[in-house]
Amino acid sequence: MIQALANAFKIPELRSKILFTLGIVVIYRIGAYVPTPGIDGFALNRFFQSIAQTPGGMLFGIMGMFSGGALQKATIFALGIMPYISASIILQLLTVVIPHLEKLAKEGGEEGRRKIIQYTRYTTVILGIIQTFFISLWLENPNAFQGTVIVPHPGWGFRLMTILTLTTGTAFIMWLGEQIDQRGIGNGMSILITVGILESVPTAIWQTFVLVSPLDPARQQLPYWKLAIMVVLFVAVVLGVIAIIQGQRRIQVQYAKQVRGHRVYGGGSTYLPLKVNQAGVIPIIFAQSVILFPATIGAFIRTGWMQNFVQFLSPGHWVYETLYAVFILFFTFFYTAITFNPIDVSNNLQKYGGFIPGIRPGKNTAEHLDYTMTRIAFSGAVFLAVIALIPSVLSSPKVMNIPFLIASFFGGTGLLIIVGVVLDTAKAIESQLLMRHYEGFLKKGKIKGRR
């Protein structure tokens, strides 16, 4: 692996892509520490520390995880990439409903793809303006912070400045991700999300060390047997994520011989790979975004019924867990249906003389592929839902009562995203190495990406 990384920096084009990606990551992390004008950042940080173990605190903890802690610091990148993810969900749902968008997606080619991206950008800005308006109202209200004044000079001047600053920050993050897609290595948005999650890893490790307290057994809050279970669970989750991401069902495909002139073409046998986790980590990110959007707005409105609503949508509550699992299942099937069309695959096989042994070409082949992919997607969706719910189970007082921040890094959304993005990025680098006749990261075989 070390030799493969050294070889990557020997190739000028690949070296420039890696260094460009690292440069974008550095810019992203710097922006996460630039404060928003008009906010007392120290007072806000103290407030978040005081509510860390409450349902609302865990809700903000999840939101802050995707923004790299920028939300708790109220910096210019406080919204992170979540408005862009929400906009992507809206556009993909509308693509199925609105004929014009469906035509752009299927028949528009590169021009249609650019138009959909442009619509996604506009939707991102609109959602950013809506969210930042509620955030500004929330920050101005001392009652929302147990009487602590967060904004010394409230008013429309502060609100407009906050809307402009945070929305521009989200648009800038969106632009950074697109730059990685065009000139860097890997998927830009996924890399930025991963970097934000990794920002909290040192804090989680330090909190684990403090709770274990090996130097003072009297202060030990996390017994060694719980730590051992968490470590075993961590290894099992990592291995399971790799197995699911790499796993695929191979459908044998036979090509008939074709005689053209005096030559015979085809007649070979190959396979059609159907990925167990066709959608990757996108269902989890989408599910988080759908749940967090109303919960975020609800957290800013300090009324009795709204606080009950926020509590229902907080980690640990059965309503949150149920909706989370249902949304993961839904988005897994939804995204799989978008990325894998059995009718198109069947038509392409028939066009080039391919067929699945024992299955008639055409409609029967499409039905067989649809049936097989549905079963595979279901197993992948169940796995994603189980992994995503692990932190809530570990942090439950009735199970292990481990702080949610620590539990989220020993199995859960954060770990799943990190492993998936690392595999994708390693796959992208390895493909560049193999194309230039270098060895990849593995001496035997190749890394399989999610797409």
Q: Which pLDDT tens digit goes with each residue over 248-303?
A: 888 888 877 666 666 666 567 788 888 888 777 778 777 877 777 666 666 556 56
C-beta of residue 430 within 8 angstroms of C-beta of residue 446: yes
Rounded CA separation 110/113 (Å): 5
Residue 192: pLDDT over 80: yes
- 450 has pLDDT over 50: no
Q: Cα–Cα distances in Å, from 122 out to 53, 84, 143, 167, 293?
A: 36, 10, 34, 11, 18
For residues 41 and 75, what is the distance between their CA atoms, to the nearest angstrom? 9
Q: 4 with 438: CB under 8 angstroms? A: yes
For 2-435, which CATH class?
mainly alpha
CA-based torsion, 97, 102, 103, 108: positive or negative: positive
- Residues contacting residue 261 through CB under 8 Å, at least 6 positions apart: none
The pTM assigned to this predicted structure is 0.77
137 vs 217, more confident: 137
Residue identified by tokens 């992919």 is 373
Encoded tokens for 445: 């075989």
Buried b / exposed e along 176-185 (16+ C-beta atoms within 10 A): bbebbeeebb
Would you place residue 52 in the very low, low, confident or very high pLDDT band (cuts 50, 70, 90)? low
Domain spans of the chain, in order of start:
2-435
Element (H, E) at 251: strand 248-255
For 162-181, what is the mean pLDDT? 90
Q: Residue 357 is encoded by which pair of tokens?
A: 């042994």
SS3 readout for 383-438: HHHHHHHHHHHHHCCCCCCCCHHHHCCCCCHHHHHHHHHHHHHHHHHHHHHHHCCC
Q: What is the pLDDT of residue 160?
A: 92
Pairing between β-strand 248-255 and β-strand 263-266 as defined by DSSP bridges? unpaired
C-beta of residue 237 within 8 angstroms of C-beta of residue 248: no
